[in-house]
Amino acid sequence: MFVLMHHDLSYSMTPGDEVEDMFILLKEVKRQIPSVTAVSSGAIASDYQRLRVESVCSRLGLVSLAYLWKQDQSFLLQEMIRNGIIAIAVKVGICEVFLFEISHVAAIGLNPSKHLGKEIAYLEPHLHKLKELYGINVCGEGGEYETLTLDCPLFKASVPSFSPFRWSA
């Protein structure tokens, strides 16, 4: 499990931090596949995320690609759905999935019992309503929610279905 140890925008190596886990993983990828020269991330608006990926890439001599950076989130969400990306919400606000048992509380306007395990296509109208009411990021860039992609055109096979989520308050 990843542990967030460093919260600043400028990143410095911190043992035990999630970024160091990414460094170890990508270093192993480079060892096994020497032709790898770049890493593509889904960073849209989070300097925190983008700068950490860039730090790891720099240390490993890789190019950081962030093609979604600063793109309109409403457009991106619509394009993800239109292009067949099947992703489900696995976290809303500070509510997290622990081996598919849900605990903690939800972010404003997102209810774990109603929204966890739902596809982004189902959530899209509600996310746009929350954007109008509260100014949330419809792609979750403010930590409003996290997703797990189960299928998309790039996958050779879809991720197997999970048993229903269980919410425990």
- What does CATH list as the number for 73-167? 3.90.1490
Sheet holding 101-103, edge to edge: 145-151, 86-92, 95-98, 101-103, 166-167
Indicate the domain borders of the chain. Answer: 1-71, 73-167
Q: How confident is the model at residue 49 (pLDDT cuts 50, 70, 90)?
A: confident
Query: Does residue 14 carry a pLDDT above 90?
Result: no
Number of alpha carbons in the 13 Å side-chain half-sphere of residue 139: 20
Q: pLDDT per residue over 144-168, tens digit each?
A: 888 999 999 999 988 876 666 565 5
Query: Does residue 72 carry a pLDDT above 70?
Result: yes
Query: Does residue 78 carry a pLDDT above 60?
Result: yes
